[in-house]
Amino acid sequence: MTGRHRRPSSRRPLLGAVVALLLVAAGAGWVAVQHHGASVSPTTTSTTTLPTPTTTTTLRAASISLAAVGDTDLGYTPTLPAVPSAEFAPVRSLLKANITFGNLEGTMTTATSSKCGSSSSDCYAFRVPPSYAEVYRAAGFSVLNSANNHSYDFGAAGVAQTSAALRSAGIVQAGLPGQIGYVTSHGITVAFVDLAPYYLTNNFLVPSEVTGLITTARHHASIVVVYLHTGAEGETADHVTRQSEYYYGENRGNPFVTAHQAIDAGADLVLASGPHVWRGMQWYRGHLIVYSMGDFTNYDAFSSAGDLALSGVVHVTLSASGQFLRGWVDPVVIEQGGLAVPDPTHALWPFINGLSTSDFGSSAALVTGHGAIVGPRG
């Protein structure tokens, strides 16, 4: 992200090698497992534990509920909230689901050596204390994405400390190279394949990487959710152009093509953020695509002018085999300063419908006057 920050972020490429970490965490009602290295067979390595039918004693449910939000950032040291837990308080009730997902835009680290040069005036690196992982967990998050342009703001040390903090809090991390996040809830295993246009993340600019990761995920999970950090940024970037999108000269990919590729490869649901504004939703082969969930709770990190303030929580219930059963959108508004609060005017709903109809016509996924996502036709 650049222009959407109050302080534009660096356009410099990510540097260094990412430290791969294994996460095996148990939480209330769910088992979390992270797998690094899609090419490594889980049956031939002792360092990787993947979900099996014996990972939980809970009987397999008929469906599973997911809640998802876009970009979150609780500050940039030393500019931090006085009471971090208060940042999610207004929307905590909206985040309730079997599995709750969000994009972590930044790092959780005490490292001080960032990607920014000492004389840089347009480079910003984002970090909060590692203890903030517990704030996300208390708010209900079970999966956080690191496939974005800020996951490597503080180099390998920042990546390693962020991963360790999430692991300690019992949160699944997804999106680093070869990293698939697995969560088992009520006997149903869901894989999160998170991608961005960078070589130090799972990189969707390499089509074979997209299909390879999804194929691996399908071997170990009943449901595959793909997240994309993609697209141009800003209030004028609310439409899906169906072309490659660039921002400050950086190739942010073709969201339309990549989302369809993901479903063709076996994804059951595609979610995205990165433009910092909501985009439309589409049905493709019976599967839902949310092209951008905009911003969510942040601490003085993103602009909330005009349509950029419109946000929400996407809720989707899928069958044990990944079929869409029902969904809805809880609308919120981002106040000046970054606090997300419920929006009684429901302004997001007509905004979504206008974009979806304009961009996708008969394949548009629409929201009713009560917030429900209308299921696929036919």
pLDDT tens digits, residue range 55-95?
Answer: 444 578 899 999 999 999 999 999 999 999 999 999 999 99
Q: What percent of the chain is predicted at pLDDT more than 90?
A: 75
pLDDT digits (tens, 9 = 90+) for 197-208: 999 999 999 999
Rounded to whole angstroms, the Cα distance separating 332 from 68 reads: 13
Whether the per-residue pLDDT at 16 is higher than 50: the answer is: no
Residue 240 in tokens:
């899906």
Instruction: State yes or no: pLDDT of 331 exceeds 90.
Output: yes
Q: Judge whether residue 324 has pLDDT over 70.
A: yes
Question: Residue 235: is its pLDDT beyond 70?
Answer: yes
Helix (H) or strand (E) holding 104: strand 99-104
CA distance 311 to 43: 42
Phi, psi at residue 184, to the nearest 5°?
-110, 120
Which range has the worst mean pLDDT, 17-21, 147-151, 293-297? 17-21
Domains in the chain, please, with CATH?
Answer: 24-363 (3.60.21.10)
Which tens digit of pLDDT belongs to each residue from 17-38? 333 333 333 333 445 566 554 3
Any idea how long the chain is? 378
Question: What percentage of the chain carries pLDDT values higher than 70?
Answer: 84
Q: Which of 57-66, 112-121, 129-138 has the lowest mean pLDDT?
A: 112-121
Query: 85 burial class (0-12, 13-18, 19+ CB within 10 angstroms)?
Result: middle
pLDDT of residue 54 exceeding 60, the answer is: no
Q: In what order do the strands lie in the sheet with 188-195?
A: 24-27, 30-36, 179-185, 188-195, 223-229, 269-273, 287-290, 281-284
Contacts of 239 (CB under 8 A, 6+ apart): 279, 280, 355, 358, 359
Report the Cα 140 to chain-centroid distance in Å.
14
Cβ-based neighbour number of residue 248 at 10 Å: 14
Residue whose C-alpha is closest to residue 149's, from 303, 247, 16, 13: 13
Q: Which of 37-46, 89-98, 198-207, 365-374 is least confident?
A: 37-46
d(CA 179, CA 22): 9
What pLDDT is recorded for position 243? Answer: 97
Q: Among 52-56, 97-101, 190-194, which stretch is predicted with the lowest mean pLDDT? A: 52-56
Three-state secondary-structure class, residue 214: helix
Report yes or no: 106 and 127 within 8 Å, Cβ to Cβ. yes
Cα distance between residue 296 and residue 205, in whole Å:
26
| Calpha distance 112→131 (Å, rounded) | 16
For the stretch 143-167, what's the b/e string if a residue is b when 16 or more beta carbons lie within 10 angstroms of its beta carbon?
A: bbbbbbbbbbbbbebbbbbbbbbbb
Please tell me the predicted confidence (pLDDT) of residue 44: 26
| Separation of alpha carbons 197 and 228, rounded Å | 9
The pTM score is 0.88
Largest Cα–Cα separation, the chain: 58
Distance between start and end Cα atoms, the chain? 38
DSSP class of residue 293?
Answer: B
Residues 177-199 have a mean pLDDT of 97
Gap between the Cα atoms of 119 and 100, Å rounded? 39
Least reliable range by pLDDT among 121-135, 198-212, 332-346: 121-135
173-180: average pLDDT = 98
At residue 8, the pLDDT reads: 40
3-state SS, residue 138: helix
Over the chain, what is the mean pLDDT? Answer: 87
| Cβ 310 vs Cβ 278: under 8 Å | yes
Where residue 47 falls among pLDDT bands split at 50, 70, 90? very low
Place of tokens 């082969």: 285
- Token pair in block for residue 286: 């019976």
H-only helix segments in the chain: 132-139, 155-169, 207-220, 255-264, 348-360
pLDDT at residue number 58? 57
Considering only residues 49 and 265, tell me which one the structure prediction assigns the higher pLDDT.
Answer: 265
Peptide bond just before 51 cis, omega within 30 deg: no
Beta-strand relationship, 250-251 and 287-290: unpaired
Phi, psi of 142, deg, nearest 5? -110, -20
